[in-house]
Amino acid sequence: MDIQMFNWHAKSLIREILTKKLELCAKLNHKVFSCKVLNGTSEYDLSVNSDMTISCNCQDFDGAGKIGDFSLNSLEEIISSQKAEKFRKILSDGKLPIPNCSRCSELEIVPPYKYQSEEKRIVPTKNLMVENTICCACSCLACARPLVMKQRKKLALTLEDIEKIAIEIKKHNIQSISYFNLGDPFISKNILEELKIIRKYNPDINIGSSTNGLLLDSEEKFEAACLMNSLVVSIDGINTKMVRKYQRNQNFETSFGHMCELIKYRDKQNKMNTNHLSKLKVGWNYILFSWNDKPEYIKKAMSLCKANNIDSLNLWHTKSPFWATSWRWYVDPFYKGIRKGNNSQYLPIYFTK
């Protein structure tokens, strides 16, 4: 069995156990469940997939969280769809409709309430995820890519799809876009045109994205990135041997070099066009594992950020794959010092204003 699918099946077992635990705790405490995506208060997870289907969560590798199809229906219709209503009813009965709910930040445990199918449903307006492509070059260990590739009917959104999404975003006054999900957005040769379309209809919207940096490789793509507010480049280590333990096709020199070239391009353009400054902030995403978490590695990454004008180093603690968890995150004095009481699994370290 491929290591990616082994990890998926292991996580599936953990999700099943967590589901039973959460449902039992809710029952014993006379509580039920609610979902921020389905009640309109989500800040992140509602996702437009590369085939225009809509998922209620950002880790929908198996398609269990699909609640509609944007090519057939509007966001209002999808958020009130039969599938979405089924999920709401199950949650109101104190059960979880899909295993991903057990580890989702959108899940809430609440006092019992009466499910009302006739209630007006609210489209979340804080954020929408847009997966312009499902393709990715990295083949990370925790990514069930063979599974998700079978789920998507299309590998990428068309420019017509992007325009439809942009119009719907404007209609609902959605505040921000996460322009990525289970693929690398910069694989798209049309990314500049895609972002221009979004900016045409939504000039002031906040756009954030994430890439592994391998194909952030041209001035056209640098220009596309400069239409964003934030971009994080995921490089999980300080050399190629280290990063390839998780990001199996990653190349440190290539991706880090592309990130530095982007920053030079941004700064050059801002000097030349003082009336139209790019708001782009560039961060280095660094997922911590047992092999890349030594304090000297993190100090090296911090010095590289300072030397290359990178705006932030974003440290992420993860439990996936489960055998590679960083224990230093919990016990090492170095991490206790930089976390300063922060109990989140995410720690940004800023180097610019």
More confident residue, 11 or 303: 303
Per-residue model confidence (pLDDT) at position 340: 87
Confidence of residue 9 (pLDDT cuts 50, 70, 90): confident
Nearest Cα to Cα of residue 334 among 293, 291, 295:
295
pLDDT at position 95 over 90: yes
Nearest Cα to Cα of residue 74 among 90, 59, 57, 52:
52
The predicted model gives 187-213 an average pLDDT of 98
Provide the 3-class DSSP secondary structure of residue 266: helix
Provide the 3-class DSSP secondary structure of residue 133: strand
Per-residue pLDDT tens digits for 44-62: 999 999 999 999 999 999 9
CA distance 10 to 104: 17
Per-residue model confidence (pLDDT) at position 113: 87
The predicted model gives 207-236 an average pLDDT of 98
Q: Retrieve residue 126's tokens.
A: 């804080």
Per-residue pLDDT tens digits for 300-334: 999 999 999 999 999 999 988 888 999 999 999 99
Per-residue pLDDT tens digits for 117-167: 767 789 999 999 999 999 999 989 889 888 999 999 999 999 999 999 999
Average pLDDT, the chain: 94
DSSP per-residue string spanning 282-317: EEEEEEE-TTT--HHHHHHHHHHHHHTT-SEEEEEE
Q: Retrieve residue 268's tokens.
A: 């050059």
Per-residue model confidence (pLDDT) at position 5: 79
CA angle 277, 278, 279 (to 5 degrees): 110
Per-residue model confidence (pLDDT) at position 11: 85
The predicted model gives 91-117 an average pLDDT of 92
Per-residue model confidence (pLDDT) at position 310: 98
Q: Show Cβ contacts of residue 201 under 8 Å, excluding neighbours closer than 6 positions.
A: 163, 166, 167, 169, 170
Per-residue model confidence (pLDDT) at position 342: 84
Nearest Cα to Cα of residue 194 among 155, 231, 153, 164:
164
Confidence of residue 183 (pLDDT cuts 50, 70, 90): very high
DSSP per-residue string spanning 29-82: TT-EEEEHHHHT--SS--EE-TTSEEESSTT-TTSTTEEEETTTS-HHHHHTSH
Residues in the chain: 353
Q: Show Cβ contacts of residue 32 under 8 Å, excluding neighbours closer than 6 positions.
A: 26, 91, 92, 93, 94, 109, 110, 111, 112, 113
Per-residue model confidence (pLDDT) at position 276: 77
Cβ count near 327 (within 10 Å): 9
Per-residue model confidence (pLDDT) at position 1: 63
Q: Is the bond into 185 cis (omega within 30 degrees of 0)?
A: no
pLDDT at position 266 over 90: yes
Nearest Cα to Cα of residue 123 among 165, 185, 156:
165
How far are the Cα atoms of 148, 241, 284 from residue 248, in angstroms, in the given order? 18, 9, 18
Per-residue pLDDT tens digits for 76-94: 999 999 999 999 999 999 9
More confident residue, 136 or 115: 136
